[in-house]
Amino acid sequence: MIRFRPTWLLLLVVAAVLFLVNWQCWRPGVGGAVGGRPPGTQLERFFGWPATYQAELWRSDDQELASKILKSAPFYYPGDEMALEYREFGIPALGIDIVFALVVLLVVAVLMECTLRKAWGVRHVALLAGAGLLLLILFFAGPAVSVSL
- Is the model more confident about 76 or about 34? 76
CA–CA dist 32, 54 (Å, integer):
22
pTM of the model: 0.87
Residue 36 is predicted with a pLDDT of 67
Mean pLDDT throughout 82-108?
Answer: 96
Q: State the DSSP code for 55.
A: E
Residue 62 is predicted with a pLDDT of 86
Query: Per-residue confidence at 149, pLDDT binned at 50, 70, 90?
Result: confident
pLDDT, mean over the chain: 91
Residue 14 — φ and ψ, nearest 5°?
A: -65, -40
